[in-house]
Amino acid sequence: MLATAFSAVVVATVIAGCTSSDGTGSPSTTEGGSITVFAAASLESAFTEIGEQFETDNPGSSVEFSFAGSSALVTQLTQGADADVFASADARNMDKAVAAGLVEGGPVDFATNTLTIVVAPGNPKGIKSFADLATPGLNVVVCAPVVPCGGATEKVEKATGVTLDPVSEETSVTDVLGKVTSGQADAGLVYVTDAAGAGDKVTSVAVPEAAQAVNTYPIAVLKESGDTQLAQRFVDLVTGAAGQKALAKAGFAKP
């Protein structure tokens, strides 16, 4: 019995020695582990590539993504959704996460994005400017105002003095793109990165006034992360050289 008790103490001591605290009361992971990243829909292409690099750099670790409109992601987080990292398409929604006490430390800006018009290949409607989107009978789709791309759209409307009358307001920029590529809409306002990712499925029409509505993307580790060290490694990868290269390839500009 004494030998058994001694063995139990030794095992417990070894386990304790192999586990370190990350300052949140949860064990930190030196190798292995899994994190969940909540990210704006427009980041899907770039973050998927960054995620593959992350798993290569951290053997035995994995990253799962939840892509959606930033406002929807913040709502999920404030309602108790589990995640380790949040990447927003604008400061407004990240500020909501900070105000709700969800963010560990402070957010870091890592990219910027601007709007462009997308239409069917060849631009059959002959759209040449933002003002053309107000043409009667033209089916235009935009993001809802609560979504970052929708907020940017409102800024462009103010800058141009042109008020749009969209047939629908979508909850994510990818939904806007989908309406155009599927032929359900004549035109839509999306980010330049989404237009680039769509390739020859769309034709882009530049919006010079969009320079007055640039969206800056912040990223942050979340307080309720099960592994803040691994989550911070992902943030460091995004803001580092490899992450910035992947973002630039997708069409994002530096913050």
Residue 237 and residue 189 share a domain = no
Residue 138 and residue 86 share a domain = no
Residue 246 and residue 205 share a domain = no
Cβ atoms of 138 and 186 within 8 Å: the answer is: yes
Per-residue pLDDT of the chain (255 residues; tens, 9 = 90+): 344 443 443 334 333 343 333 333 333 344 689 999 999 999 999 999 999 999 999 999 999 999 999 999 999 999 999 999 999 999 999 999 999 999 999 999 999 999 999 999 999 999 999 999 999 999 999 999 999 999 999 999 999 999 999 999 999 999 999 999 999 999 999 999 999 999 999 999 999 999 999 999 999 999 999 999 999 999 999 999 999 999 999 999 999
Residue 105 and residue 57 share a domain = yes
Q: Is 173 assigned a ligand-binding role in the annotation? A: yes
Residue 138 domain-assigned?
yes
Encode burial over 149-164: b for 16+ CB neighbours within 10 A, e otherwise: bbbbbebbbebbeeeb
In 170-222, where does DSSP find H-type helix? 173-181, 192-198
Total domain count, the chain: 2
Q: Is 70 assigned a ligand-binding role in the annotation? A: yes
Q: Is 168 assigned a ligand-binding role in the annotation? A: no
Convert the pLDDT of each residue in 208-221 to its tens digit: 999 999 999 999 99
Residue from 244, 208, 26, 33 nearest 117 by CA: 208
Residue 120 and residue 205 share a domain = yes
The domain containing residue 72 runs over which residues? 34-112+217-250
Q: How many residues does the chain have?
A: 255
Q: What is the pTM of this model?
A: 0.84
At 171, the amino acid letter reads: T
Q: What is the CATH number of the domain that holds 161?
A: 3.40.190.10
Neighbouring residues of 15: CB distance < 8 A, sequence distance ≥ 6: none
